[in-house]
Copies of this chain bind each other. A is one copy, B any other.
Amino acid sequence: MSELAVTFANVQSAAAILAPLVHRTPVMTCDTLNRLSGRELFFKCEHLQKVGAFKFRGASHAVACLSASQKQNGVCTHSSGNHAQALALAARQQGIPAYIVMPKTAPQVKVDSVRGYGAEITFCESTQAAREEAAREIVERTGATFIHPYDNAQVIAGQGTAALELLEEIPDLDAIICPVGGGGLASGTSLAAHGINPRLQVYAAEPLGADDTYRSCQTGTRQPVGTPNTIADGLLTSVGELTWPILRTHIEEVLTVSDDQIVEAMQLLWSRMKQVVEPSGAVPLAALLNHLLPSGVNKVGVILSGGNVDLNRLPW
């Protein structure tokens, strides 16, 4: 097997760089969810991270790792999701320009948010090809550095710092579970977990309607997501070139859940923990509530990955 693109040392270095830039988010517990899942759960609250998602860690780390001359020219990405807001705020916080390509169809609230962080927005058609082309043009014109939402070594290392903090606080976890879309969070989490304790089990939870990582693990080769169909709109992307080898090496198992199970878990997070967590962030709890983890795995860390939801369009 070829060497992995990111190491535990990269995650540790990212943690030192990010300490003054990101929130150290709290770890919460909930008696009701312990009872319902039959385990002891420790929720790492990345929905309370800046911009409301763990994505701010990876984006901030990628920006911080740029050379002085790269910083002058700024950063660029294409995204309609949390990565766009994360990169926009990370760039502003570190005083460099950000160019964000968004589809014309992006929700106004997300456009306003990215613009509010001072980024320059370029609108394009909503196809993947149009987005990539628009980003390429910006990079050529401005010299900005393209920051991929997950297939980027600095981004992966940054995302791993959430698990690092969780394990500092609760060192005797039996397992950690996090959602998987492109795999940035899951790969960073697994590197952090096994860097601290090689016997710790790392699980990735994935919507049935976008189960490319599950299928990749079943077949042993990276599978594209095809046409995803799930309420977990943060997990629509295919597992990446850099993230896949890390996941294949470090992930115990990919657990898949239905949209109904995701919505039920989300409602419990809102009604019992009083936490606004987006559908993608509820996917790991859905796996736990449906008892998909093996017995004997008692103390489980759960990454609540994000909390950006349109309150006027709730799935119940």
- Write the residues of chain A forming the contact surface with B, with a CB cutoff of 8 angstroms: 26, 28, 47-48, 52, 267, 270-271, 274-277, 307, 309, 311-312, 314, 316
What copy number does this chain have within its complex?
Answer: 2
B267 in contact with A311 (CB, 8 Å): yes
Whole-angstrom CA separation of A274 from B47 in the bound complex: 7
Q: Name the 9 nearest CB pairs between A and B, nearest first.
A: A274-B307, A274-B276, A47-B274, A270-B276, A270-B311, A48-B274, A271-B311, A276-B276, A274-B275
Nearest neighbor of A26 in chain B, beta-carbon distance: B26
Q: Which residues of B contact A311 (CB under 8 A)?
A: 267, 270-271, 314, 316
Q: Which residues of B contact A307 (CB under 8 A)?
A: 274
Q: How far is the CB of A306 from chain B (nearest CB, A)?
A: 9
Q: How far is the CB of A154 from chain B (nearest CB, A)?
A: 25
Q: Which residues of B contact A276 (CB under 8 A)?
A: 270-271, 274-276
Q: List 8 A-B contacts (CB under 8 A).
A: A48-B274, A52-B274, A270-B311, A274-B276, A274-B277, A274-B307, A275-B275, A311-B316
Whole-angstrom CA separation of A276 from B274 in the bound complex: 5
